[in-house]
Amino acid sequence: MGSGVQMKYCDLHTHTTASDGSDSPAEVIQLAVNSGLAAIAVTDHDTVAGFPEALEASEKLGIEILPGVELSVRISHGTLHVLAYLFDPGSPALNEVLKQVQSARATRNPLILERLKDLGCPISWSELEEMGKGGQIGRPHIARAMVNRGYVKSTNEAFVHYLKKGAPAYVPKSILSPEKAITTIHKAGGLAVLAHPMSLEFGTPAHLDELVAKWTEQGLDGIECYYSMHSKELINLSLSLCKKYDLVPTGGSDYHGKAKPKIKVGRGTGGLRVPYSCVEALRERKEKKDR
């Protein structure tokens, strides 16, 4: 590329106080501007409540924003999240499903607290409400409370020993099937993207290929290839699957603020750079689907 051409970058995976991030939507937009990004997507877990504030901030600060949300999806092995982009935030179909998922989350939290109490790590609901600042409360809030109480030294330790899938305080939450998640996103006029494939614990490249092929048949539109915790090998594998199945490559930091203090907006753990071409590819795919 010629020396006179300046590369543009984006971050299409961030979280705010509307779900389990520690910064407000406006603060996350400001961080994106500070990082010199051309575009940002706020992708809170199972809610679009933070989008209006993020949109207002983006318009004031002159940065492009994409509507986004991260859906929790049920799967037998590993963890599956599906990112949605460029949908109608007011879609009745989407918001009805989000209410159902939020209800499942609300039921889950007290069960986690009960298990932690039995394990000698009691946490009060008022602590979590104070952290949540009116947004949804999830495991990252619980992990931070465990650090504050001195039960663990870090949020990562809280997840590894207590909160991750298979750990003693873990309680299943996801109620959506992959097909239901993808269909719901499409009904809202959006695009469905497989989030951080590393969380699938897929084992071999052939197994990931098999999963992507199945979900592509159900309407998957893209894969989050560029991600804070992805190795170069996984980035290249994900990009090759995008090419093979005609999917859009995307990427993001998965910024949460205090819950993941080493991850920064637009830069991940330091070396992440998500090309703006991901935004262009998403918009191009949506235009083709809308025709």
Q: Taking the model in full, what pTM does it have?
A: 0.85
Residue 2 lies in a domain: no
Residue 149 lies in a domain: yes
Q: Beta partners for 233?
A: none
For residues 16 and 50, the answer to whether their CB atoms sit within 8 Å is yes
CATH of the domain at 110: 1.10.150.650
Which residue, 163, 184, 199, sits at the end of a domain?
Answer: 163
Residue 265 zone, left/alpha/beta (φ > 0; ψ -120 to 50; rest) = beta
Question: CA 87, 267, 82, 132 torsion: positive or negative?
Answer: negative
Place of tokens 């209006």: 52
Which residue, 163, 186, 207, sits at the end of a domain?
Answer: 163
Say whether both 129 and 263 belong to one domain: no
Per the structure, how many domains does the chain have? 2
For residues 84 and 111, the answer to whether their CB atoms sit within 8 Å is no
Q: What pLDDT, on the 0 to 100 scale, is given for residue 2?
A: 46
- At 18-71, the pLDDT tens digits run 998 999 999 999 999 999 999 999 999 999 999 999 999 999 999 999 999 999
CA distances from 231 to 88, 119, 178, 235 (A): 33, 35, 25, 6
Residue 4 lies in a domain: no
What is the pLDDT of the chain when averaged over all its residues? 93
Say whether both 130 and 154 belong to one domain: yes
Say whether both 110 and 88 belong to one domain: no
CATH of the domain at 274: 3.20.20.140
Say whether both 195 and 285 belong to one domain: yes
* DSSP one-letter string for 163-220: ISTTSTT------B-HHHHHHHHHHTT-EEEE--GGGG---SHHHHHHHHHHHHHTT-
State which amino acid sits at residue 104.
A
Say whether both 77 and 187 belong to one domain: yes
pLDDT tier at 94, thresholds 50, 70, 90? very high
Percentage of residues of the chain with pLDDT beyond 70: 98
For residues 12 and 250, the answer to whether their CB atoms sit within 8 Å is yes
CA 133 to chain centre: 19
Distance between first and last Cα of the chain: 33
Q: What does the alpha-carbon distance between residue 184 and residue 178 come to, in Å, rounded to a whole number?
A: 10
Q: What does the alpha-carbon distance between residue 106 and residue 101 come to, in Å, rounded to a whole number?
A: 9
pLDDT average, residue stretch 120-133: 89
Which residue, 137, 163, 189, sits at the end of a domain?
Answer: 163
Say whether both 260 and 221 belong to one domain: yes
CA-wise closest residue to 68 among 138, 134, 14, 139: 14
Q: Beta partners for 40?
A: 11, 65
Place of tokens 């509507």: 67
CA-wise closest residue to 109 among 95, 125, 122: 125
Query: Could you list the residue range(s) of the whole structural domain that residue 149 is in?
Result: 106-163
Q: What does the alpha-carbon distance between residue 143 and residue 136 come to, in Å, rounded to a whole number?
A: 14
Q: What does the alpha-carbon distance between residue 96 and residue 272 come to, in Å, rounded to a whole number?
A: 35
Say whether both 184 and 234 belong to one domain: yes
Q: What does the alpha-carbon distance between residue 84 and residue 182 come to, in Å, rounded to a whole number?
A: 8
Residue 169 lies in a domain: no
**Which tokens sit at 93?**
């179909």
Say whether both 150 and 189 belong to one domain: no
Using the 8-state DSSP alphabet, how is residue 91 labeled?
-
Q: Beta partners for 64?
A: 39
Residue 3 lies in a domain: no
Say whether both 88 and 112 belong to one domain: no
Residue 170 lies in a domain: no
pLDDT tier at 5, thresholds 50, 70, 90? low
For residues 66 and 85, the answer to whether their CB atoms sit within 8 Å is yes
pLDDT average, residue stretch 205-212: 96
Q: What pLDDT, on the 0 to 100 scale, is given for residue 1?
A: 42
Say whether both 82 and 188 belong to one domain: yes
Q: Beta partners for 250?
A: 224
Say whether both 111 and 95 belong to one domain: no
Percentage of residues of the chain with pLDDT beyond 90: 80
Q: What does the alpha-carbon distance between residue 207 and residue 197 come to, in Å, rounded to a whole number?
A: 11
Say whether both 120 and 251 belong to one domain: no
